[in-house]
């Protein structure tokens, strides 16, 4: 069948070529978008892990620095680590009790003051360890890990702190 000059339209071959080209362009856009979203998620998760690890490290370091020199960092019978610490916003530097507890991969922090206790999770997917210095009972090495073991965005922080000398 011959095509006449006054007939308009596209052939099936032209339509298939256009659809194939559109599929290639659309596939590239989808691949780029998926890669960008994945990268954004990984960066965000790494940032969240780092923030949680920093929060735990800062709180634990502050409590250890302000803890009573008679407090030993050791797991108690209730599987918690107990410290008596002074709060910086307390003009009298009155001590309160704080506990750190590892429950599975969750780190719990409890303050006990005047018979009232408040427990908050510091991390839902983390671990912490505190090793007292064998040569100096007022010095500790803290290690905080937040994120899965096989997670490339896992945050690991380590520091050494010493107790303040509150006129002792």
Tens-digit pLDDT profile for residues 106-160: 999 988 877 788 899 988 899 988 888 888 878 888 899 999 888 888 999 999 9
Model pTM?
0.68
Instruction: Please tell me the distance from the alpha carbon of residue 158 to that of residue 72, in angstroms, as a whole number.
Output: 20
Expressed in percent and rounded to 5, the helix, strand and coil fractions of the chain are 30, 35, 35
**pLDDT averaged over every residue in the chain:** 82
**Could you report the per-residue pLDDT of 42-62, keeping only the tens digit for each?**
788 888 899 999 999 998 888
Mean pLDDT of 10-20: 90
Predicted local distance difference test score (pLDDT) of residue 168? 42
CA distances to 10, 11, 13, 104, 135 from 20, rounded to whole Å, are 15, 14, 11, 53, 73
Contact by Cβ (8 Å): 122, 52? yes
């Amino acid at each position: 069948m011959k095509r006449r000059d006054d007939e308009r339209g596209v052939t099936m071959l032209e339509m298939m070529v256009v659809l194939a080209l559109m599929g290639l362009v659309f596939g590239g856009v989808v691949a780029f978008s998926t890669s960008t979203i994945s990268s954004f998620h990984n960066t965000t998760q790494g940032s969240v892990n780092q923030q949680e690890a920093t929060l735990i490290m800062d709180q634990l370091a502050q409590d250890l620095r302000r803890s009573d020199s008679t407090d030993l960092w050791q797991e108690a019978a209730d599987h918690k680590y107990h410290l008596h610490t002074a709060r910086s916003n307390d003009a009298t530097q009155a001590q309160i009790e704080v506990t750190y507890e590892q429950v599975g991969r969750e780190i719990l922090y409890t303050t006990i003051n005047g018979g009232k206790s408040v427990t908050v999770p510091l991390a839902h997917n983390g671990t912490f360890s505190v090793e007292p210095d064998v040569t100096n009972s007022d010095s500790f090495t803290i290690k905080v890990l937040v994120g899965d073991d096989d997670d490339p965005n896992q945050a690991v922080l380590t520091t050494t702190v010493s107790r303040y000398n509150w006129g002792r």
